[in-house]
Structure 1
Amino acid sequence: MMRYVRQTVLKEFGEAAQEKLTKAKVLVIGVGGLGIPVLQYLNAMGVGTLGLVEADSIDITNLQRQVLYTEAEVGYSKLAIAVNKLKAQNSTTLFKTYNTFLTKENVLDIVSNFDVVVDASDNFATRYLVNDACVILKKPFVSGAIQGFEGQLSVFNYKGGPTYRCLFPNMPSANEIPNCNENGVLGVVPGIIGNLQALETVKLITEIGEVLSGELLLFNGLHQAYNKIKFTVVKENLERTSLEDSYGDNGCSTGLSITINDFKGLISANKDFQLVDVRTLEEFNEYHINNATHIPLLELDKYQSKIEKNKAVYVICQSGKRSRIAQNQLLEKEITVINVEGGINAYRSLEIAH
């Protein structure tokens, strides 16, 4: 096919490799900074079926690194916008979309439909969930992670090779994870790591080159340095047959949520409710919604008595992630709260838009 001639003329690649791409089914978890370059290049190169898992909407703070989206699309579904643009890029690709967060309840059903999984998520709980599902279903997955000026990359569960748990046996606690507002990233870094994830995915599918299995690639953008760390398989990690009872906060909640537009409507209608802001004191002092009750996430257990159980209670953070953690913690204590999707970032974006 002439469309792919610039790669099929490569003697190491050829028509046989192209055919493998055409038949491949790849699941990309997350359509953000990492997932966008993965999807754009796999789509352009002719991967036959692409699955997309994403439930977030586009926020103004996404635009410095999630280069598929525009200012005019702020507030819209990432999934819907991304699929429309990917279809325009390559009309021959079959897209399977999952407008949901990945959870213990849906992960096995979703992953089972694909040959390769690309983890482009932004939280530890999802990475462990993806790992365990891929081990159970015997699927390889390509993992990328970014922070600041740095990134890391590896391929896990490939032909009996090491799993994510062989490198990182235990999930960090909530106290050990930087809060999502302070955990910044230089805009170009996700593009670099995402493209490397796409490359490893192509190598894995076509069986060309050496797949990055049993090695962790470390990238430092400030020094333009690449280093590799070798790690070995821990056999018991390959013997998993079931998921964990809980993965903490993996970007989803078992409770109710409200869109930022509907929440703004409640405020405009002067509805009687309590808003609990679980951000840090510095974030709260920098900007907060009038009459919000401030209870930092790390002090939620200590000060949960401040929650007014006789009212509808909404919980908010900067982007919606910590508030989901808070919601799950409170649900365990039989305290029902409603999560405000998108958090303060989405609220302020809505104010700017109007």
Structure 2
Amino acid sequence: MSDIEIKTLETEIAALEKKLNEKKSRLQELKSKHISCPYSNVLTSEEIVRYSRQMIMPQICKSGQRNLKEGKILIVGAGGLGCPASLYLAAAGIGEIHILDYDEVELSNLHRQILHYETNIGLPKVQSVADKLKSLNSNIKIVPLHIHASSSITDLVQKNKYDVVLDCTDNAPTRYLLNDICVIYNIPLVSGSALQMEGQLTVYHYLNGPCYRCLFPKPPPAHTVTNCGDGGVLGSVCGVIGVLQALETIKILTQMDGVLSGRLLIFDGSETTFRNVKLRQRVATCEVCGDNPKIRAPVDYEQFCGSRAHDKVININILESEENVTVEQLKGVLDENNNVVIDVRSELEFDMCRLPNTVNFPYSRIRDNKSLDELEGFIKRAAEGNKKVYLLCRRGNDSQRATNYLRQNFSNSLVKFLNVKGGLHAYSKSIDPSFPVY
């Protein structure tokens, strides 16, 4: 690009910025003139124009828009569900939106968390979302809460007296936490989830409807629960569920009929189908919303569920120190080009990205005793060489399990099984930053 072209672009950008600033000034001028509107005792002239397309609907009208304007909601989770939900709720004119999330924006978020841009990487998610919502609708109040969703938020909920809470998270402890708090303080809970090509949505504790504990009095085993960080999710599936969470919230605030209470909406993105499943009614013996509740204050939900209240992976440590090698040592092993390095990630992940001179044998197949015979070729090759087999995975957890499993099942092979500590994440951090961390 020539200097003349650069200068021309700079001039055009400056002109656009000037025009944008003029429009912002004009908007503020209009707002200041119409704070007290002679044509409506509820809304300003600017608000009437802004929300006119929904206000002319009989389901909304002036009274519904007033309810939205006076509404105060809490969105827990500023990710794949929280972004589209908050976007449509801000656009609809919810008077006060509090957004709670403890995380920062990462590159891997951007395919589904549509309010975060490349320039926001490293910024707290709640701040990123708040900035976008304020630029969309300056009439409303946005409160970013950069904190963890733990029992400590009880005081926050009690103090603010929210009209609706949206659960836009993806872990069991937070689901139970929000459910119990909402029941204790009598707040409807709009709960959504998305994984791979499927999504689910329901409303808990609304007009004597069931709560989450009515359906799931005990949490599922922690190892059976998969989040999007491990199982994956299509961004547009998050968008569908997040937008529907916004819809249910608007229906609750405007007192529309048809709120998704006592029903579960199941969305199958692969077939583009929606199903409504009738849920059981409120359980009289429920420990939190029953006739004689036992839970009157939040408990330790991580202990209750046996899992963490976030999607960050906790590194395990089940091997002795001599059974591990560093990624620096792995680099030397790969350079020699005659060693056995087994990547135990799934075939899909191995196909996404891999280190040179590694072979794929998923941990799921290693655990299958019928597949042990297929490993004998690798072990025989190692026995004829340096008598070592190196196990590698994404973060160094499954490779530890595989190392332990193979050591027990091939104890007579004279081959030493070694885990690559920290896995591919450590390799990217210490050896080659260009290796994609996902």
Q: Secondary structure at the match of 1:12?
A: coil
Q: Secondary structure at the match of 1:95?
A: strand
The residue correspondences of 1:162-201 to structure 2 (distance < 5 A) are 162-178=210-226, 180-201=228-249
8 A Cα contact 1:118 1:143, kept in partner: yes
Amino acid at match of 1:236: T
Amino acid at match of 1:115: D
Please say if 1:241 is aligned against 2:241: no
Q: Percent identity?
A: 35
Question: How many residue pairs align between the two structures?
Answer: 288
8 A Cα contact 1:29 1:121, kept in partner: yes
Q: Secondary structure at the match of 1:118?
A: strand
How far did 1:78 drift?
Answer: 1.2
8 A Cα contact 1:28 1:117, kept in partner: yes
Q: Which residue of the other structure, out of 156, 166, 172, is the alignment partner of 1:110?
A: 156
Q: Distance in 2 between matches of 1:60 and 1:344?
A: 18
Q: Distance in 2 between matches of 1:39 and 1:297?
A: 39
The residue correspondences of 1:43-58 to structure 2 (distance < 5 A) are 43-58=90-105
Amino acid at match of 2:264: L
Amino acid at match of 2:50: R
Q: Distance in 1 between matches of 2:308 and 2:98?
A: 23
**Partner residue in 2 for 1:80:** 127
Amino acid at match of 1:244: V
Q: Distance in 2 between matches of 1:174 and 1:216?
A: 23
How far did 1:184 drift?
Answer: 0.8
Distance 1:110 1:25, change over 3 A: same
**Partner residue in 2 for 1:312:** none
The residue correspondences of 1:1-354 to structure 2 (distance < 5 A) are 1-104=48-151, 106-112=152-158, 113=160, 114-178=162-226, 180-231=228-279, 232-237=281-286, 238=289, 239=293, 240-247=295-302, 248-251=307-310, 281-282=344-345, 294-296=396-398, 351=433
How far did 1:158 drift?
Answer: 0.6
Structure 1 segments of 4+ aligned residues over 6 angstroms from their partners: 283-288, 315-318, 343-346
Distance 1:179 1:135, change over 3 A: closer
Provide structure 1 residue ranges, at least 5 long, that are not aligned to the other structure.
256-279, 304-314, 319-342
Q: Distance in 1 between matches of 2:296 and 2:434?
A: 49
Q: Where is the helix percentage greater, Structure 1 or Structure 2?
A: 2
Q: Secondary structure at the match of 2:57?
A: coil
How far did 1:191 drift?
Answer: 0.4
**Partner residue in 2 for 1:308:** none
How far did 1:252 drift?
Answer: 8.6
8 A Cα contact 1:75 1:346, kept in partner: no
Q: Distance in 2 between matches of 1:62 and 1:157?
A: 31
**Partner residue in 1 for 2:387:** none
How far did 1:86 drift?
Answer: 0.8
Distance 1:201 1:316, change over 3 A: farther
How far did 1:316 drift?
Answer: 7.0
The higher relative CO (CA closer than 8 Å, separation ≥ 6) is in 1
8 A Cα contact 1:102 1:252, kept in partner: no
Q: Secondary structure at the match of 1:26?
A: strand
How far did 1:98 drift?
Answer: 1.2
Distance 1:316 1:72, change over 3 A: farther
How far did 1:169 drift?
Answer: 2.3
How far did 1:55 drift?
Answer: 1.4
Distance 1:79 1:345, change over 3 A: farther
RMSD: 3.3
Provide structure 2 residue ranges, at least 5 long, that are not aligned to the other structure.
1-47, 315-342, 356-391, 406-420
How far did 1:175 drift?
Answer: 1.3
Distance 1:15 1:316, change over 3 A: farther
Q: What is the TM-score when the length of structure 2 is the normalising length?
A: 0.59
Q: Secondary structure at the match of 1:50?
A: strand
11-20 or 74-83: bigger deviation: 74-83
Amino acid at match of 2:220: P
Amino acid at match of 2:300: D
8 A Cα contact 1:50 1:96, kept in partner: yes
How far did 1:281 drift?
Answer: 4.6
Q: Distance in 2 between matches of 1:128 and 1:317?
A: 33
Distance 1:346 1:202, change over 3 A: farther
8 A Cα contact 1:204 1:211, kept in partner: yes
How far did 1:159 drift?
Answer: 1.9
Amino acid at match of 1:3: R
Q: What is the TM-score when the length of structure 1 is the normalising length?
A: 0.73
Q: Deviations over 1:16-54 (max 9, x none)?
A: 000000111010000111000110011011000001001
How far did 1:218 drift?
Answer: 0.5
